[in-house]
Structure formats: C-alpha cells, structure tokens
Structure 1
Amino acid sequence: MPLISFKKNRPAFEVPSGANLMKSLLEAGLPVASSCDGDGVCAKCKIIIVEGKENLTPENETEAFLRESKDLPKDVRISCQTQVIGDVTIDATYW
C-alpha cells in the first residue's frame, strides 16, 4: 500500500492504491482547504508534491485547466483530482 509522508513533522500513513489524495488526507484528520467539496472547481485543495510525483495519476482535464487558469507551479497538484498509486511526500502552505 502506498505511503503518504509529510515534509513537516506529521506521521505518515498508508492508503490503498488508487485512493483519492484529498479524501485520504481528510480521513486521516488533516485539514484540506476547499470551497467546492472536491468538485474540482476552486483549486484551494492544492498540495505541494515534495517527492514521488511519478507515484500519482497523471493530470486529468479538470486539473490541467485549474493549473493553467490559477497559474500553479508544476510541483503542485489539485488533491481532489489526484489518486495515489505509490509513495509520496507532500506539504501544504496552510499546514
């Protein structure tokens, strides 16, 4: 099972392969910014990928649109649109 680790001092946890990143973080009790409840509209749930970007699903059309319209850097993913398929290390500006 993939492991989600953190840049800052938080305990890592395992998720099933293919798990939605935002839902996994919320289920682990971590706050995730969002005003659209994961519908892929607001882009507030952006997460910085520190390591393991190859272990996430490729950007879908919704995420690509949000990246372009919000001018997000390449190391940022929209967590509600991202599935975890391998180990990753992440961070967020609001943690």
Structure 2
Amino acid sequence: MPVISFKKNMPAVEVPADTVLMMALLDAGLPVASSCDGDGVCAKCKIIIVEGKENLSAENDTENFLREKNGLSSDVRISCQTRIQGNITVDATYW
C-alpha cells in the first residue's frame, strides 16, 4: 500500500492504492482546506507534492482548469481530484 509522508514532522500514513488524496488526509485526521467539500470548484485543497509526483494520477480536466485559473505551480495538486498510486511526500501551507 502507498505511504503518504510529510515534509513537516508528522507520522506517515499508509493508504490503499487509488485513494483520493483529500480523503486520505481527512481520514488521517489532518485538516484540508475546502469550501466546496471536494467538488473540484474552489482549489483550496491544494497540496504541495514534495516527492513522488509520478506516483499520482494524471491531472484531469477539472484540475487543469483550476491550475490555470489560480496560477498554481506544477508541484501543487488539487487534492480532491488526485488519486494516490504510490509513495508520496506532501506539504501544505496551513499545517
């Protein structure tokens, strides 16, 4: 099973493959910013991918639109639109 590690000193979390990143973080008890409850509208659930970008699902049309609209860098993913397929290390400005 994939492991989510954190840039900050927090315990790693093991999750089933193909889990939505936002749900994995919420299930682990971590706050994830969102005003649309994961509907892919607000982009507040953006997460910085420190390592393992290649272990995530490809960006879908919704995520591409939100990236362009909000001017997000390529190391940021919209967590409600991203599925975990392997080990990653993440960070967020609000943790």
TM range (shorter): over 0.9
SS state of the match for residue 47, structure 1? strand
Number of aligned positions between the proteins: 95
Q: TM-score, normalised by structure 1?
A: 0.99
The answer to whether 1:84 aligns with 2:73 is no
Amino acid at match of 1:82: T
Measured on the aligned residues, the alpha-carbon RMSD in Å equals 0.3
1:82 and 1:13 map into 2 onto residues whose CA distance is 16
Structure 2: gaps of 5 or more residues: none
In structure 2, the partner of 1:17 is: 17
Q: Which 4+ residue blocks in structure 1 deviate beyond 2 angstroms?
A: none
Q: Percent identity?
A: 74
Q: TM-score, normalised by structure 2?
A: 0.99
2:83 and 2:90 map into 1 onto residues whose CA distance is 13
Amino acid at match of 1:89: T
In structure 1, the partner of 2:93 is: 93
Amino acid at match of 1:77: R
1:13 and 1:91 map into 2 onto residues whose CA distance is 13
Superposition deviation, residue 56 in structure 1: 0.2
2:79 and 2:86 map into 1 onto residues whose CA distance is 15
SS state of the match for residue 42, structure 2? coil
In structure 2, the partner of 1:58 is: 58
Structure 1: gaps of 5 or more residues: none
Amino acid at match of 1:5: S
1:32 and 1:17 map into 2 onto residues whose CA distance is 20
1:8 and 1:92 map into 2 onto residues whose CA distance is 9
